[in-house]
Amino acid sequence: MPPIKVKSAEVATSPKRQHKADARVAAAPHAAAKPRAQTRIQREKQDVILEAALDVFSMHGFRGATIDQIAEVAGMSKPNLLYYFPRKEEIHRRLMSALLETWLAPLRAMNADGDPFPEIRSYIRRKLEMARDYPRESRLFANEMLQGAPRIIEMIEVDLKNLVDEKAKVLLGWMDQGKLARTDPYHLIFSIWATTQHYADFDVQVRAVLGPGRGGEGRFEDAARYLEGLFLHGLTPRGIGKGA
Amino acid sequence: MPPIKVKSAEVATSPKRQHKADARVAAAPHAAAKPRAQTRIQREKQDVILEAALDVFSMHGFRGATIDQIAEVAGMSKPNLLYYFPRKEEIHRRLMSALLETWLAPLRAMNADGDPFPEIRSYIRRKLEMARDYPRESRLFANEMLQGAPRIIEMIEVDLKNLVDEKAKVLLGWMDQGKLARTDPYHLIFSIWATTQHYADFDVQVRAVLGPGRGGEGRFEDAARYLEGLFLHGLTPRGIGKGA
DNA sequence: CAGAATTTTGACCAGTTGGAAAAATGTTAG
DNA sequence: CTAACATTTTTCCAACTGGTCAAAATTCTG
């Protein structure tokens, strides 16, 4: 844990009078002075900025994204943007921490008391919906991974790992009960992540390969149907008279 | 998993002569049709540069990568590098076109005259080996996809689409013969891409989640075993002890 | 409405970026 | 050996980068 940058608003008594807003904007653990609630404008502008930043970071990664570009998409000047988020890293950090919560929710929802197939099927559906409805978030995450996850490695190693360990046990439990094929629970989870996120991260490719005919909105329905069949029975043909 | 060994530098090596030096020669007064073959140094340095560029581009994407950084990794000065590749784009283009060839080879190798399961199984293995042995190439590709594939969209829409269309027909043929579960051949191919490339593109995550114990080299073996089971039978339990 | 606080702007800065030019240094064929 | 070519280094540049700052404009609040 290197003594990295200065955390915003960590010291109550700033020696120099900062006209920056970060002292009240950032979530301080226990600000000594008066935190002074956020104004309406602060909330709105921060949302606009984060929205724009999501666009840019998810396409170009952290280094490839520029503050100017984010500011332009957000419809404001660079110094104005920097008034709300004094550092580029800060914007990215906010996006990432918000993302991780949303991202893990579907796996968290997998219920040990349920039956494996409804649970897994529902998990796949949820992940697929997220790929459809939040493709930028998926790409933001993918971009971070491709770079070696420098800014979220800790959360991956702790929070994510713990969650997956827990759910792997659930899966193993189902396998012990003979309700689920005995296989590697970790790689099972990986395969669900991979197959669903693919439709967000490689969207261009999916569209291009499916062509104008089948590359429309229906592709997510098709994907859901296919994946259900794959995870349920694999590719082995089963008698005639297929069930609906 | 049988190891396949090819020097990674060779992946990006394709015969092309169009750089500054040659341009000068071609622009000379007596420029007939004498492109003047590449020298030993040219070949070597270009390989070194492409190798370094693969490192940098695959981590940071096109915009996030800098010529300075590539030059540093390649162990030469920036102007020296620019002597061999006069533009940043040129390096990237060379990497991408070389990559696409290698990338599609495994799918090309899927033989219509074979039986579906050995063919598919072998395709999965090959793709998994590529994820293991050429993770940077995989990430380079993923990075380009995340950005909307601006520099290779044509190749995707033409070459890749044609290849997939062709192989989709092969899969449909197998399904008609009852040798393969009737399902969507396009999404079938997507799922193989997704599950295998995941181990290169999300390597950090895979390692972190598996932990120090199972995150070692063995993870590719485990993945191969798991994926085989998944694509063959899905997750439905078979055999003894099926009681609920 | 006045005064205080907040928000926005424009000018600016030092470091980095992709790249050009040319001089200096190798290498090699005749 | 030497001229012709190939390679490398040095110097330079304009545009862009993340970020600062003070002043101006605007929005609260009593």
Which structural domains are found in chain B, ordered by start? 8-90 (1.10.10.60), 93-233 (1.10.357.10)
pLDDT one-digit tens code per residue, A126-155: 999 999 999 999 999 999 999 999 999 999
Angle, in degrees to the nearest 10, between helices A40-64 and B40-64: 170
Give the CA B79 to C1' C16 distance in Å.
15
Confidence at residue A12, expressed as pLDDT on a 0 to 100 scale: 29
Handedness of CA A43, A49, A51, A53 (dihedral sign): negative
The answer to whether A25 and A42 are in contact (CB under 8 A) is yes
Which bases of chain C are contacted by protein, using any atom under 7 A from a CB? Answer: 6-11, 16-22, 28
Mean local confidence (pLDDT), A8-14 = 30
Cα B117 from Cα B138, distance rounded (Å): 25
Could you tell me the two tokens for A43? 């909330």
Q: Shortest Cα distance from B114 to chain A (angstroms)? A: 16
Cα A60 from Cα A67, distance rounded (Å): 12
Confidence at residue A14, expressed as pLDDT on a 0 to 100 scale: 31
| Nucleotide C5: closest residue by CA–C1' | A19
User: With 90 as the cut, is the pLDDT of residue A94 above it?
Assistant: yes
Cα B179 from Cα B157, distance rounded (Å): 30
Residues 6+ apart with CB under 8 A from A83: A20, A21
Question: How many beta carbons lie within 10 A of that of residue A194, not counting itself?
Answer: 22
Interface mutation target, options B209, B220, B228, chain A, most CBs of A under 10 Å = B209
Q: What is the DSSP string of A49-88?
A: HHHHHHHHHHHHHHHH--HHHHHHHHTS-HHHHHHH-SSH
Please report where in the chains the tokens 């002597």 appear, as a residue. B83
Mean local confidence (pLDDT), A215-244 = 84
Q: Shortest Cα distance from B84 to chain A (angstroms)? A: 24
> How much is the ipTM here?
0.87
Q: Which residue is closest to A163 within chain B, CA to CA?
A: B209
Q: No. of H helices and E strands in chain B?
A: 13, 0
Q: No. of H helices and E strands in chain A?
A: 12, 0
Confidence at residue B16, expressed as pLDDT on a 0 to 100 scale: 31
Residue A45 beta carbon within 7 A of nucleic strand C: yes
Find the helix or strand (DSSP H, E) in which B55 lies. Answer: helix B40-64
The answer to whether A223 and A128 are in contact (CB under 8 A) is yes
A26: DSSP letter: S
B105: DSSP letter: H
Handedness of CA A93, A99, A103, A109 (dihedral sign): positive
Confidence at residue A36, expressed as pLDDT on a 0 to 100 scale: 57
Give the CA A71 to C1' C11 distance in Å.
18
Contact residues, chain B, for A230 at CB < 8 Å: 183, 188, 191, 230-231, 234
Confidence at residue B239, expressed as pLDDT on a 0 to 100 scale: 63
Confidence at residue B65, expressed as pLDDT on a 0 to 100 scale: 98
Which is higher by pLDDT, A56 or A234?
Answer: A56
Q: Shortest Cα distance from B161 to chain A (angstroms)? A: 5
Could you tell me the two tokens for A203? 């969207």
Confidence at residue A86, expressed as pLDDT on a 0 to 100 scale: 96
One-letter-per-residue 3-state SS of A178-223: CCCCCCCHHHHHHHHHHHHHHHHHCHHHHHHHHHHHHCCCCHHHHH
pLDDT along chain B (244 residues), means of 10: 38 33 33 50 90 98 98 97 97 96 95 96 97 98 97 96 98 97 98 98 98 93 98 83 39
Q: Quick check: A190 and B234 CB within 8 A?
A: no
The answer to whether A194 and B190 are in contact (CB under 8 A) is no
Query: Of the given ranges (A30-44, A168-182, B11-25, B34-48), which has the lowest mean pLDDT?
Result: B11-25
Q: Quick check: B204 and A156 CB within 8 A?
A: yes
Please report where in the chains the tokens 């995150």 appear, as a residue. B215
Cβ-nearest to B182 among A195, A197, A242: A242
Confidence at residue A106, expressed as pLDDT on a 0 to 100 scale: 97
Please report where in the chains the tokens 């340095």 appear, as a residue. B45
Cα B157 from Cα B57, distance rounded (Å): 23
Q: Which nucleotide is nearest to B88 (CA to C1')?
A: C18
Which bases of chain D are contacted by protein, using any atom under 7 A from a CB? Answer: 5-11, 16-23, 27-28
Which is higher by pLDDT, B25 or A229?
Answer: A229
The answer to whether B201 and A194 are in contact (CB under 8 A) is no
User: With 60 as the cut, is the pLDDT of residue A81 above it?
Assistant: yes
Q: Which nucleotide is nearest to A83 (CA to C1')?
A: C7
The percent of chain A in helix, strand and coil, each rounded to the nearest 5, is 65, 0, 35
Cα B21 from Cα B207, distance rounded (Å): 45
User: With 60 as the cut, is the pLDDT of residue A224 above it?
Assistant: yes
- Name the pLDDT band for A239 (thresholds 50, 70, 90): low
Cα A27 from Cα B88, distance rounded (Å): 41
Contact residues, chain A, for B230 at CB < 8 Å: 183, 188, 191, 230-231, 234
Mean local confidence (pLDDT), A110-122 = 97
Angle, in degrees to the nearest 10, between helices B185-201 and B203-214: 60
Q: Quick check: B235 and A120 CB within 8 A?
A: yes
pLDDT one-digit tens code per residue, A70-79: 999 999 999 9
Residue B66 beta carbon within 7 A of nucleic strand C: yes
Burial class (CB in 10 A: 0-12, 13-18, 19+), A158: exposed
User: With 80 as the cut, is the pLDDT of residue A1 above it?
Assistant: no
Residue B162 beta carbon within 7 A of nucleic strand D: no
Q: Quick check: A156 and B210 CB within 8 A?
A: no
Q: Shortest Cα distance from B79 to chain A (angstroms)? A: 22
Confidence at residue A42, expressed as pLDDT on a 0 to 100 scale: 80
Which of helix, strand or coil describes residue A95?
helix
Q: Which residue is closest to B192 within chain A, CA to CA?
A: A195
Question: How many beta carbons lie within 10 A of that of residue A213, not counting itself?
Answer: 7
Question: How many beta carbons lie within 10 A of that of residue B19, not counting itself?
Answer: 18
Q: Shortest Cα distance from A101 to chain B (angstroms)? A: 16
